[in-house]
Amino acid sequence: MAKDVIVVVQRDALPNEKESLDILIVSTTGKCPVETYRSVEAVNTVFGPDGSSPNAKVVRKATTLLNQGKTTLADTLVNKFKIVGFEPTSASPATAATFVCTFADGALTEEIQSGNTLWVRVGGNDKALVEVTASKKIGTGSDLATLFDGTSFTFGGTTYTAAVSGATVTYTATTPGSADTIPGRADIFEDEQLSTASSVPAPEAKFVNGKDAKSAADNLVEEIKRFQADVDNDWYYLLTDKDDDEYVTALAKFAEASEPSEAELGAGVEDHRKFYMGQTSNKKFASITARAAVIYTDAEYLNEEADASYTGNVAPFYPNSVTWKFKRPQDGNAPTSAGTKLITLPKLTEDERDQLLESHVNFLTEEYKHQYVKNGTCLNGEFIDVVLGGDWIAKRMRDLLYDILLSNDNVNYDDAGFGLISTAVMQALAEAVDLNIIARDPESNSGVYTVTVPKYEESTEDQRRSRIMPDITWEALLSGAIHQVKTKGVLRATL
């Protein structure tokens, strides 16, 4: 029976915590589970000299990341980050692919007479044939296997040569490295035209692909990918304890490849894009990659950890979009008695400065007695704030769409439903205007963006049958500090 009096009390929701960059630092001095750290003292317990995985460089990075309070223009500081430890990586040689055929050991149901010839088709490929002729009567699986010793075949442009052990024939690629996959089958015939199957039972066949040679840097990237897949992918911004060119280049490429294409997203690949910040002492460093920024420092000052210093100085603004140029990162490891000290000004000739600028490598400069970082760009020339801002829009729009789909018991496949879905786009873009990610019109002060919401009548029969709404498209003018850049986007939803 329904009650006559019902009282419902609602409280205001607690304010949301301010967003910040999800930073991950990778240590390579020993395996250590990922943890969130909020102080240098906590980092020291694990990575300090008496910790379980000593790494002075990681301690310095944590220190400089947190200690930017004297020169940052932000009203807060980085207050937490994650650290994970991996074992030191090394280069690994290429390994060869193998195709293993194992005959049933013991007596054959029908002996093979001396002089008889058999043709074996590898992997169902008529051109990958092995021909063997019995020089004596063959009565067992092991005897049959010996006929294949030293034989070879070619599949996918790779040649394989056999060695025999008991009843097992192992074909090994003569060229190491990854090869075309061979289906696990080996069919035996009595004639070269492959028209008459042999009574000899086909062997059990298995293909094991080879591996290409990998540098130590590439193996570190593989470790990070396994960590993503198996442990934790809830991070965005990446720093490591590696400064060598091969590592910086490999990690920059990893970050660039982390952004899925529209085709990959359509095929179901999840969007877990990353951004990498590194440092180098190579005045000629170049790697034209997106989603990665590198700061130069002279070799003797790499221990100032300019990459972490730069991050700690500007990252606290996030998600507000600010230019990464004209910032003054300090050496967070400098003794307190020394007072505030910027990272050390590198010794560069005019030609060397021009070389770094052409390669879009950032560096501390001094002009008219004012020191600041120039130019706040990624390695492909895109501005750091533009990339971070675009990524924020993608994430926010996706989160808002899921909020709509999960909080409504039904979203109708009609104009009203399409309009409801479009509010995710509208709200994300409006918030991006407030965060200075999207530019404002100087006259109206409104955000410079347009959103095109489809009508039901524009959907196709296939789309209606699958409940896939036509694309919502949008275009916005990114603030990009002084440098304005247009960006376009698509929101695609299944109702």
Q: Which of 483, 34, 57 is closest to 242 using CA atoms?
A: 57
Kindly state the tokens that stand for 250: 């490999």
pLDDT of residue 482: 37
- Regions of the chain where pLDDT drops below 70: 1-6, 8-18, 336-338, 480-495
- Integer CA distances (angstroms), 264 to 196, 272, 371, 396, 492, in order: 45, 12, 43, 20, 13
**Residue whose tokens read 């020993």:** 30
In 3-state terms, what secondary structure has residue 135? coil
pLDDT of residue 248: 98
Kindly state the tokens that stand for 224: 């990070």
Residues 6 or more apart whose CB falls under 8 angstroms from that of 408 comprise 420
pLDDT of residue 27: 98
* Residues in a beta bridge with 374: 363
- CA 304 to CA 300: how far, in whole Å? 9
| Alpha helices (H) in 201-244, listed in sequence order | 216-230
Strands (E), 156-258: 158-165, 168-173, 186-189, 204-208, 237-240
Strands 292-296 and 362-367, sheet pairing: parallel
Burial class (CB in 10 A: 0-12, 13-18, 19+), 26: buried
pLDDT of residue 331: 94
**8 Å CB contact between 79 and 40:** no
What does pTM read for this prediction?
0.84
- CA 428 to CA 448: how far, in whole Å? 13
pLDDT of residue 6: 62
Burial class (CB in 10 A: 0-12, 13-18, 19+), 355: middle
- Integer CA distances (angstroms), 305 to 79, 143, 244, 262, 308, in order: 18, 66, 13, 36, 6
For 209, which DSSP code? -
| Size of the chain in residues | 495
**8 Å CB contact between 363 and 307:** no
Straight-line distance from the first to the last Cα atom of the chain, in angstroms, rounded to the nearest whole number: 37
pLDDT of residue 263: 80
pLDDT of residue 186: 96
